[in-house]
Amino acid sequence: MPPAPSLAGSPRALCLTCQRPVKACICQWVRPVANRVELLLLQHPLEQDHAKGTATLLRLSLQHCRIWVGESFDAQALAQALATTQTGSTWLLYPEDRPRISAGLMAAPACGRLVVLDATWRKSRKMLLLNPLLLSLPRLALLDPPPSRYTVRKAHLGHQLSTLEASVLALQQLEGPSAAFDDLLKGFDGFVAQQALRFQP
């Protein structure tokens, strides 16, 4: 996907599609995916303009994906956003101590929407506490995730993945493997290589 025309008169010319400086445009790495399970990304404000963030690439690639930016959300608006869909209930991608829900368990409720917190581990825990409605959601934990391919941003724990990686792996658990998801991860590899060149020491 080529970059869209830039914003005229902007001090830093921006791509109208990815909203990044044209020289740092990530549109070439977009890989369209017609996902069945809707993705709702709750993005911490500190992640919104992070140059190495993966949420924008995810939103541009997935057919059904929304991003809400904030730390504490209006309870009524959040309740409406979390309401059961025609295809199933809303789940939260988040590990926990109680037994995990996996797409392969017959007792697991159908998932029509997946909520993902786009934040550091510490900030994501704070977002949970500030938004009690999230605590009531059934949770999905990733099953045996592979090592992260996101080598341009330091993880505080070895098993932590980027938002895009975690979301794609979760959707694969819920929807099953597909060539489209594999292609998106290949596009992500190109994005990572681009960021590595931009931010090399």
Domains held by the chain: number: 2
Residues 18 and 52 reside in one and the same domain: no
Give bridge partners of residue 117 from the DSSP assignment. 42
- Closest to 2 in 3D by CA, of 30, 28, 31, 32: 28
Residues 95 and 177 reside in one and the same domain: yes
Count Cβ atoms below 10 Å from residue 44 Cβ, excluding itself: 18
Cβ burial, residue 128 (10 Å; 0-12/13-18/19+): middle
Instruction: For residue 190, give both structure tokens.
Output: 């190109």
Residues 129 and 146 reside in one and the same domain: yes
Residues 37 and 6 reside in one and the same domain: no
Domain that holds residue 108: 32-198
102 vs 33: CA distance, rounded Å:
22
Q: Does position 126 have pLDDT exceeding 60, yes or no?
A: yes
Sorting pLDDT into bands at 50, 70 and 90, what band is 153?
low
The pTM of this model reads: 0.85
Residues 105 and 7 reside in one and the same domain: no
Residues 41 and 134 reside in one and the same domain: yes
Residues 102 and 155 reside in one and the same domain: yes
Q: Does position 105 have pLDDT exceeding 50, yes or no?
A: no
Largest CA distance in the chain: 56
What CATH number should be reported for the domain holding residue 94? Answer: 3.40.1280
Residues 53 and 19 reside in one and the same domain: no
Sorting pLDDT into bands at 50, 70 and 90, what band is 159?
low
- Closest to 168 in 3D by CA, of 151, 156, 180, 157: 180
113 vs 165: CA distance, rounded Å:
17
> Would you give the DSSP letter of residue 118?
E
Residues 4 and 40 reside in one and the same domain: no
Q: Does position 9 have pLDDT exceeding 70, yes or no?
A: no
Q: What is the pLDDT of residue 104?
A: 44
